[in-house]
Amino acid sequence: MSITTCIFDAYGTLFDVTAAARAAAAQPQNSSISENWPKLATDWRLKQLQYTWIRAITGAHADFWQVTQEGLDWAMEANGVGGAELRAELLELYWNLEAYGEVPKMLEILKTAGLQTAILSNGSPDMLTGAVSSAGIGGQLDALLSVESIGVFKPNRKVYDLVGAHFGCHLDEVLFVSSNGWDAAGAVGYGFRTVWVNRACEPMDRLPWKPHHQLPDLQQIPLIAGVLL
């Protein structure tokens, strides 16, 4: 079957999760992170993901905003920085993450070709709405699918079920795109065709499933989806 539906992870795939720390570090009042903001951003993201996995395994679900705050608190302590004002600024910036430069054009090409597009994310609905609005890409997305509707994080199979439930499409019609290797692998195990957007040039995860495609960014997604440029 040909691809009819392109599904994107949000954080790290469409939106730059390092943007909040980078923007905060550029402000004179935040000299405490002016040099080590990349590590702060990396630690924040890692703990955010680790907490979702633990909560998914144990059934102790909390919405992604709580997990995001808890991950930041750990990262700030681990990097020896503190302050309520800095914390508040970082969290506010997370609601307005920058989209990667190629995202708007890529989505426009897909929509012009008649494909269905959506986000499938751990993010809560209000977080996703805020990020999409800030990036100005709402007109190129048909749906924002959040795990909050089922109360469990990726890579639980129930999350990937949301795609078929919403669009009524066959598994073979879906191209799933994620910057998380484990997410792309999980989607392969579910039955989707997948792309791993490996922006950081990381090694392939040692898992039972491997993504069908690996790209450095999103520019070639339309070609993989069968759109002639």
Phi-psi region of 98 (alpha: psi -120 to 50; beta: other; left: phi over 0): beta
Supply the pTM of this predicted model: 0.96
| pLDDT, tens digit, 9 for 90 and up, residues 152-165 | 999 999 999 999 99
Q: Residues 43-62: what's their mean pLDDT?
A: 98
Domains of the chain: 5-15+99-224 (3.40.50.1000), 19-94 (1.10.150.240)
Beta carbons within 10 angstroms of residue 153's beta carbon: 24
Read off the tokens for 175. 């191209």
Which stretch of DSSP H or E encloses residue 42? helix 37-58
**Three-state secondary structure call for residue 183:** helix
Nearest alpha-carbon partner for 103 in 207, 209, 199, 203 = 199
The span from the CA of 177 to the CA of 183, in Å, is: 9
Confidence of residue 229 (pLDDT cuts 50, 70, 90): low
Q: Flag whether pLDDT at 42 surpasses 90.
A: yes
Which residues carry out catalysis? Answer: 9
Q: What is the rounded distance in angstroms from the CA atom of residue 71 to the CA atom of residue 58?
A: 18
205 burial type by CB count under 10 A (0-12 exposed, 13-18 middle, 19+ buried)? middle
Q: To the nearest whole number, what is the mean pLDDT of the chain?
A: 97
